[in-house]
């Protein structure tokens, strides 16, 4: 066999490059997901290690498949899990809305700065992310506790007479989620707003539009892709958040991430915890597909 025929049989450099992300997704997403999916259909068995029964068994020269659907039925019928899923979606949605209301003005102001000032401002936005996630959450404990920085400041300013109960409440969970995920809202909004053509606003002003009218009819519609991207980047991880509600939210903040950890480590019910994880992933699949679609349309718009 000559070299020319050998080159035709071997995959080209293009396929080699494409295969890398697919191989990454296969090893670090598809395979772990299939393992968790298999565990979710098994039965809890404390006498085994790991504590679940096999789904496929070889008995008397025959292969038997035992699929247990009771865990998925429990997620629908048990009010605890229904409430946990509903609470997680609600907390994530409210936190995303708050992050949007805070992040949009910040991104808008940064996009109107001079190029040198933009770099400094964006560095200040990203800089807290260089610190450990746990350290940043721990810092909010010191700020929000009864004798913390916030309450002491409000008392010294004579705004309140006694400390406010903020820590270990759902409000603290909202604060923590918004703070930790705010850069994920600002970055896509800034990337979108920086590309707007300011001549459109000048034309609107020449036609008699007021600044708020120009914003509502030009800037806001053009930033729709950035808004959707930022909301998806905040809401998707916030739904399954565990650290923030555990450290700041307290027992009244019920989220599916906390229940998932309790099933795995406290109750050692791996099959039910796996069913919770699979269901959570399926719930997040819709916003993930929306995010991918928006990204695809934005790329197609750049090419055209």
State how far the Cα of 220 lies from the Cα of 200, in Å rounded to an integer: 12
Q: Is the pLDDT of residue 213 over 80?
A: yes
- Supply the mean pLDDT for the chain: 86
Does residue 267 or residue 101 have the better pLDDT?
101
Q: Is the pLDDT of residue 300 over 80?
A: no
Q: Is the pLDDT of residue 42 over 80?
A: yes
State mean pLDDT over 114-133: 90
Which residue, among 95, 98, 81, 52, has the nearest Cα to 283 in the 3D structure? 81
Band of the pLDDT at 304, cuts 50, 70, 90? low
Band of the pLDDT at 253, cuts 50, 70, 90? confident
State mean pLDDT over 184-198: 92
Contact 214, 278 (CB under 8 A): no
Structure confidence at residue 55 (pLDDT): 83
Q: What is the DSSP string of 31-82?
A: HHHHHHHHHHTS-B-TTSSSSB--SEEEETTEEEE----HHHHHHHH-HHHH
Q: What is the pTM of this model?
A: 0.84
State how far the Cα of 155 lies from the Cα of 140, in Å rounded to an integer: 18
Both structure tokens of 286: 């819709």
Q: Give the largest Cα separation in the chain, rounded.
A: 89
Tell me the backbone φ, ψ of residue 64, rounded to 5 degrees. -115, 140
Structure confidence at residue 92 (pLDDT): 93
Both structure tokens of 13: 């450099």
Band of the pLDDT at 303, cuts 50, 70, 90? low
CA atoms within 13 A on the CB side of 195: 13
State mean pLDDT over 243-263: 88
Q: Is the pLDDT of residue 11 over 60?
A: no
Structure confidence at residue 13 (pLDDT): 63
CA angle 191, 280, 19 (to 5 degrees): 60
| Of 49-58, 132-141, 271-280, the least confident | 49-58
Contact 291, 232 (CB under 8 A): yes
Strand ranges, E, within 92-185 = none
Structure confidence at residue 5 (pLDDT): 56
Both structure tokens of 186: 């600002």
Q: What b/e readout covers 273-291, taking b as 16+ CB neighbours within 10 angstroms?
A: bbbbbbbbeeebeebeeeb
Band of the pLDDT at 189, cuts 50, 70, 90? very high
């Amino acid at each position: 066999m000559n070299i020319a025929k050998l080159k035709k049989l071997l995959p080209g450099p293009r396929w080699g490059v494409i295969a890398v992300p697919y191989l990454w997704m296969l090893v670090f997403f598809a395979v772990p997901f299939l393992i968790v999916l298999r565990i979710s259909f098994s039965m809890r068995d404390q006498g085994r290690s790991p504590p679940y029964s096999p789904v496929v068994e070889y008995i008397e020269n025959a292969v038997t498949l035992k699929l247990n659907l009771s865990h998925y039925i429990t997620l629908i019928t048990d009010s605890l899990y229904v409430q946990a899923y509903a609470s997680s979606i609600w907390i994530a949605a409210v936190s995303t809305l708050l992050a949007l209301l805070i992040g949009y003005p910040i991104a808008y102001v940064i996009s109107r700065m001079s190029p040198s000032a933009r770099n400094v401002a964006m560095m200040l936005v990203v800089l807290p992310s260089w610190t450990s996630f746990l350290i940043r959450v721990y810092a909010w404990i010191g700020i929000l506790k009864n004798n913390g920085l916030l309450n002491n400041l409000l008392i010294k300013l004579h705004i309140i007479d006694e400390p406010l109960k903020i820590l270990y409440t759902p409000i603290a969970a909202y604060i923590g989620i918004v703070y930790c995920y705010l850069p994920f809202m600002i970055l896509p909004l800034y990337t979108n707003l920086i590309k707007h053509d300011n001549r459109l606003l000048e034309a609107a002003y020449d036609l008699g539009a007021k600044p708020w009218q120009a914003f509502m009819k030009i800037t806001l519609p053009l930033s729709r892709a950035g808004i959707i991207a930022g909301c998806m980047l905040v809401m998707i991880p916030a739904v399954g958040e565990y650290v923030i509600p555990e450290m700041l939210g307290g027992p009244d903040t019920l989220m599916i991430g906390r229940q998932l950890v309790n099933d795995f480590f406290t109750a050692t019910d791996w099959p039910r915890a796996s069913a919770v994880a699979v269901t959570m992933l399926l719930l997040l699949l819709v916003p993930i597909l929306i995010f991918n679609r928006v990204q695809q349309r934005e790329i197609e718009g750049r090419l055209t």
